[in-house]
Amino acid sequence: MERAAAAAGPAVEGGGVNRRAVRAASAAAGAGSRQPSTEALDSPTGSHVEWCKQLIAATISSQISGSVPSEGMSRDYREIQDGHNGYHSEAEPDQVALRDGNKLAQMEEAPLFPGESIKVIAKDVMYICPFMGAVSGTLTVTDFRMYIKSVERDPPFVVDVPLGVISRVEKIGVQSHGDNSCGIEIVCKDMRNLRLAYKQEEQNRLEIFENLVTRAFPVSNGLPLFAFSYKEKFAVNGWKVYDPIVEYKRQGLPNESWKISKINSTYELCDTYPAILVVPTSVKDDDLSKVAAFRAKGRVPVLSWIHPESQATITRCSQPSVGPNDKRCKEDEKYLQTIMDANAQSHKLIIFDARQNSVADTNKAKGGGYESESAYPNAELVFLEIHNIHVMRESLRKLKEIVYPTIDETRWLSNVDSTHWLEYIRMLLAGAVRIADKIESGKTSVVVHCSDGWDRTAQLTALAMLMLDSYYRTIKGFEVLIEKEWISFGHRFAMRVGHGDDDHADADRSPIFLQFIDCVWQMTKQFPAAFEFNELFLITILDHLYSCLFGTFLCNCEKERLKEEVSTKTVSLWSYINSQLDEFTNPFYVNYENHVLYPVASLNHLELWVNYYVRWNPRMRPQVPIHQNLKELLAIRTELQKKVEDLQREAATRSISSSSDRGSSPSHSATPVHTSV
């Protein structure tokens, strides 16, 4: 444990005998030492595991034949120069026969997942790569992906894009070589755009554009998301990862102050909350209903986490409906007093309002508001000044502009700064550190809310819990954290991501969950040995946030998932991940049990996550296969641990067999072997 503390920074005594506060001493390696992956050129094997490895590591692999053009963007990307014909719609049996007789078409055919079906095949479609120029190949559109493959190159050139990542599809027309060529521009949610070109006269006959739009936006076209058709079988059932009763029991609940309530079992108290809640023991159901009526969307203060020693708690909720006339609710006031009283070590309750003070005032004028210290005399209100979803969406848009398709090296740092993305990441981390510190050092219970309690609130509670509880820094624990604080407590994934919806301009879309994962990545950089999972784990989660391959991030709340039978009709992302844990394990992990992590929330210690945001640029590809090296280190670590265990057993055997002269010979010493790998 002492080695674990030293790995990340100096250890400072925390709230209990065995708990330590660990602060990051310095930033991790500079950006120059990191290089992201690129778009994959390899052909997927067809199996889910291999496909995912290729998608995550890259969409065009480092095995690009020929050198990358030296100019910032290929000329073909700026202007579609050529169109080709030869399109075939795969809808009739005779088309299958035609394809079977065409060796080239067979070689360029897309691999399929169980349950996936081909909708359109078009030959001689040109992919306008911004880095390599035009590549002609066969386009396949299925109900899950857009797949382009060219066997003219060695190795074959492949672009494999899940349709779920597509935000917008637009027709573009270009004059070239006397032909009226048609093109399609595809804007993606994962920081890249794609351009395709083909001859205009083929468009109506084959309906490439229409099929692409229909399959990319199934919800808008009355079709189910592909997750409901996906039939892959895994050895592990990911839907069993999170059981709220088990998780609350792990935290020591229920106890004399807190009870597990099923008042929301039919989602009547709050339709966006989970069925199982933890509330103060003394609160009656009638009073809880009155508190729900006073809180926005009925999202009453409920427990998220309790300190194992001080009993200080993190509770989450939405804003009170104070309004311009300073409306009060005695049940709500008494309820917060009860939360404070449940922690005997403090006579104060800290309310962290994630919003900007000015925005909270505006919300108050519209019927919302915040807790006044006159109505809540033992509470202290703190505004964290975090911007709203619209500001975050605009910040990500600016970030995409500077990272794809070209990077201005001469203005890189100033361009990143102008997006304010890292500043917003800093504010989230700083707010979470304040919450964690009040719990750990101040032994004071906190209430966290924003407006509705499902965006900034989830970011802050989940990050604070990650800092406070080492369990959430394991692979399973982090899955539980996401299931609990994000999925079950009603973060509006469908609305914020826009699964299957063609309304790309929807004002409700925002990269809230992406920001949270970015914050987690920043913590892994400052504490590289404190997390059991690696970077690939985080990128995999983000890629499947959009892919609609799994049911994990579908819908907006638990009630909707139950209605859509998500857990029985779709596969969990955790089934895939937990079936191959070696792929996602950090070989440097040391269990920081009972350690509290305090990351440095300073721009000097934060970095742009190049391996995620800039991974599509081949000029930023890794110089060495980092993920493969980590897997090799993990194998070496496992081998060494096995040797240590063998030596320990051998030492114990020798100790027992020669107990009579144990103290006379060093070779027969009973001192246990302690080796840290």
Q: Sorting pLDDT into bands at 50, 70 and 90, what band is 619?
A: confident
pLDDT single digits (tens) 181-191? 788 999 999 99
Q: Sorting pLDDT into bands at 50, 70 and 90, what band is 661?
A: low
The predicted model gives 72-92 an average pLDDT of 44
Q: What is the mean pLDDT of the chain?
A: 84
Secondary structure (DSSP) of 58-86: -SS-S--SSPPPSSSS-HHHHS-------
Q: Is the pLDDT of residue 35 over 70?
A: no
Q: Sorting pLDDT into bands at 50, 70 and 90, what band is 207?
A: confident
Where helices occur in 442-493 by DSSP H, the ranges are 456-468, 475-481, 493
- Report which of residues 448 and 406 the model is more confident about: 448
Q: Is the pLDDT of residue 422 over 90?
A: yes
Percent of the chain whose pLDDT exceeds 70: 79
The predicted model gives 471-489 an average pLDDT of 98
Give the 3-state secondary structure of 300-320: CCEEEEECCCCCCEEEEECCE
pLDDT of residue 10: 34
Q: How many CB atoms lie within 10 A of CB 355?
A: 23
Q: Sorting pLDDT into bands at 50, 70 and 90, what band is 623?
A: low
- Here the tokens at position 426 are 């800093």
Q: Is the pLDDT of residue 603 over 70?
A: yes
The amino acid at residue 140 is: T
Q: Is the pLDDT of residue 342 over 90?
A: yes
pLDDT single digits (tens) 279-300? 999 999 999 999 999 999 999 9
Q: Is the pLDDT of residue 60 over 50?
A: no
pLDDT of residue 1: 38
The predicted model gives 590-599 an average pLDDT of 92
Q: Is the pLDDT of residue 34 over 60?
A: no
Q: Is the pLDDT of residue 210 over 70?
A: yes
Coil, helix or strand at residue 488: helix
pLDDT of residue 74: 58
pLDDT of residue 655: 78
Q: Is the pLDDT of residue 99 over 90?
A: no
What values do phi and psi take at 659, rounded to 5?
Answer: -65, -25
Sort strands 166-176 and 145-150 into parallel, antiparallel or unpaired. Answer: unpaired
Q: Which of 220, 109, 226 is nearest to 163 (CA)?
A: 226
Sign of the CA dihedral 232, 234, 240, 242?
A: negative
Q: How far apart are the first and last CA of the chain?
A: 13
17-31, 94-108, 244-258, 636-650: which is most confident: 244-258
**Spatial separation of the C-alpha atoms in residues 542 and 79, rounded to whole Å:** 32
pLDDT single digits (tens) 506-552? 999 999 999 999 999 999 999 999 999 999 999 999 999 999 999 99
Q: Is the pLDDT of residue 168 over 50?
A: yes
Secondary structure (DSSP) of 120-149: EEEEEEEEEETTTEEEEEEEEEESSEEEEE
Choice among 317, 450, 548, 557 that is catalytic: 450
The amino acid at residue 409 is: E
Q: Is the pLDDT of residue 582 over 80?
A: yes
| DSSP bridge partners of 352 | 382, 448
Q: Is the pLDDT of residue 69 over 50?
A: no
The amino acid at residue 361 is: D
**Spatial separation of the C-alpha atoms in residues 183 and 172, rounded to whole Å:** 5
Strand boundaries in 420-508, DSSP class E? 446-449
- Report which of residues 639 and 320 the model is more confident about: 320
Q: Say if CB 540 and CB 37 are below 8 A apart.
A: no
Where helices occur in 420-550 by DSSP H, the ranges are 421-440, 456-468, 475-481, 493, 512-526, 535-547
- Helix (H) or strand (E) run with residue 566 in it: helix 566-569
Q: Sorting pLDDT into bands at 50, 70 and 90, what band is 97?
A: very low
pLDDT of residue 268: 97
Annotation says 450 is catalytic: yes
Q: Is the pLDDT of residue 7 over 50?
A: no
The predicted model gives 624-639 an average pLDDT of 78
pLDDT of residue 179: 56
Q: Sorting pLDDT into bands at 50, 70 and 90, what band is 32?
A: very low
**Lowest-confidence pick of 61-70, 520-529, 644-653:** 61-70
